Structure 1
Amino acid sequence: MNENLARRFTGIAGTASAAALILEVPLYFVYSDEPPASNVLSRILIGLFALAALLLFVTGFRELVKRVAPEYEWAGSIASAAGLTYVAVTLVSSGLEAGAVIAADRPIDPTIAVDGTYILYGTIGRILLALFLASVGFALHRTRALPRWTSRAAYVLAAVNLAFVPSLFFGNTPADFYAANGWGTTALMGAILSYWLLAMGVTLLRSARAGR
């Protein structure tokens, strides 16, 4: 994969992931109380497509860094490892949540599975995403593969994600902003990530067209 192809591949993947997340996030705010199973399963399904595209994005980013500045391939590898781990952890939490929703009308306690997703969606996800974004910011800053604002934006988002790491100490009520699975910790962070991915995807595609 040459540099131009890496830019195009990563840009398309980032844009696709952003589009899926932009469709998913509003579903968190449709109901003020406990949402029906159809709502939860719909947003999980859309989220799975977003995660699949994100997996391609982090893989393509590592390849781009390798092509632009081989001496910083290690930074791209850290970003890729953190991103892939984030995808894996979120897939597990999505599977647990979907399984609990499907089994809610059966003689088992669905809260056993759902309770385990709180820290996966929240604190663990925020730490992994912060590491991913910080690594992306460092790699972009050093390689200058994209405009300077992209690295700064990644650093800012990494700091925002770190700010939500202690949310596990503030309960697990989805209606609360700052909680283990509060709408700020999960839905808001997903929305911010989606628009960052969209900006990155568009910038990468434009750089590919420019033949940079």
Structure 2
Amino acid sequence: MTRHPHRKLMPDVRLWTGIAAVAVALLTVTEFSVQVFVVGARPSLDDELALVDFMTRTSNGTLLTILIDTMLMAALIVFLAGFRQLITHAEVALQWVADLAYGAGLVFVAVTLVGDAMEAGTALDVTGMAGDYSVLRALTVGHTVLFGSIGCVLTALVAAASAYVTLGSEALPRWTGWLAYAVAALNLLAVPTMFGGTDPASFFAAGGAGTALFATFPWLVWVTAIGVVTIRDRRRPYDVPADGAVAAT
């Protein structure tokens, strides 16, 4: 019997998926830190003078946050592509579900970048000129919904599809699949926050602390878990035999 040489996914998909996941985690923590310690809490949208003053003082911090988020989205695209390849390489029959997760993830990235552009508009509106309260308020309300409930629905779809293909393909440990289902459920729980108003002090406000706790944090935990698993466990069956692995001669 002659064994055909084993072939390996090139480039190393597991490695790059893990690196991208870790990058997403680190950039998310960095962005959160800048938002909390540099930008700070936004005043009420009803307070015209306070809102304009806040946007003026924090414009550079806001632009820095958006720059970090843009790099985060780039890393997320790499992660989503790598995750899809891991699944389809292990179980071709699940490709359409993996494509669903990938497609929903790309839509999430697009929606987030639109929200980033709107938030950047609030910073640029007060750069070198007097801020327009009506413009600042409208842009803030708009990107709050994009980052909040709309993003939660898309994240839930990505997580649910990822959970299904993980459990169906066993390309990754099964516990990561169940974790993804939990992430999907928590993101759906956060969707109704769009009816919670815009008061920054309210836990259930649109895009507020409730969204961060129920949606953003669980999503970060799952992505980080996938990153750790794919980097650490690179000896699972991803080095697969070529067609007809063992041929008789």
Task: Give the structure-1-normalised TM-score.
Answer: 0.91
Amino acid at match of 1:156: A
1:23 aligns with 30
For 1:164, what is the secondary structure of its paired residue?
A: helix
Q: 1:149 aligns with which of 161, 171, 175?
A: 175
Answer yes or no: is 1:95 the counterpart of 2:117.
yes
Other structure's SS at 1:51 match: helix
Larger Rg: 2
* Partners of 2:237 and 2:60 in 1: CA distance: 45
Aligned to 2:59: 37
Q: How does 1:17-96 map to 2 (within 5 A)?
A: 17-30=24-37, 31-34=40-43, 36-96=58-118
Residue of structure 2 equivalent to 1:161: 187
Listed as ranges, the gaps of 5+ residues in structure 2 are 1-7, 44-53, 239-249
Cα deviation digits, residues 140-167 of structure 1 (max 9, x gap) = 0100111111001100011110001011
Q: Which residue of 1 aligns with 2:16?
A: 9
Seen in structure 2, the aligned counterparts of structure 1 residues 17 and 188 have a Cα distance that, compared at 3 Å, is same
Give the conservation status (yes or no) of the 8 Å contact 1:4–1:211: no
Q: Flag the 1:14–1:185 CA change in 2: closer, same or farther, 3 A.
A: same
Q: How many residues align?
A: 212
- The CA distance in 1 between the partners of 2:192 and 2:183, in whole Å, is 16
Q: Is the 8 A contact 2:187 2:215 kept in 1?
A: yes
Deviation at 1:22, TM superposition (A): 1.3
Matches of 1:20 and 1:92, distance apart in 2: 19
Shift of 1:116: 1.2
Superposition RMSD in Å: 2.1
Cα distance, 1:211 vs. partner?
A: 6.0
For residue 136 of structure 1, the aligned residue among 143, 154, 162 is 162
User: Contact (CA 8 Å) 2:190, 2:214: kept in 1 or not?
Assistant: no
Question: In the TM superposition, what whole-angstrom CA distance separates every residue of 1:72-119 from its partner, at most 9, and x where no partner exists?
Answer: 011110000111100110010011101112103446422222221121
1:189 and 1:44 map into 2 onto residues whose CA distance is 19
Residue matched to 1:183:
209
| Cα contact 1:82–1:131 (8 A) shared by 2 | yes
Encode CA deviations 1:15-71: one digit per residue, 9 max, x unaligned: 111110011112333334546223322222211111110011111111111111101
Q: Give yes or no for the alignment of 1:202 onto 2:221.
A: no
Q: 2:152 aligns with which of 109, 122, 126?
A: 126
**TM-score, scaled relative to structure 2:** 0.78
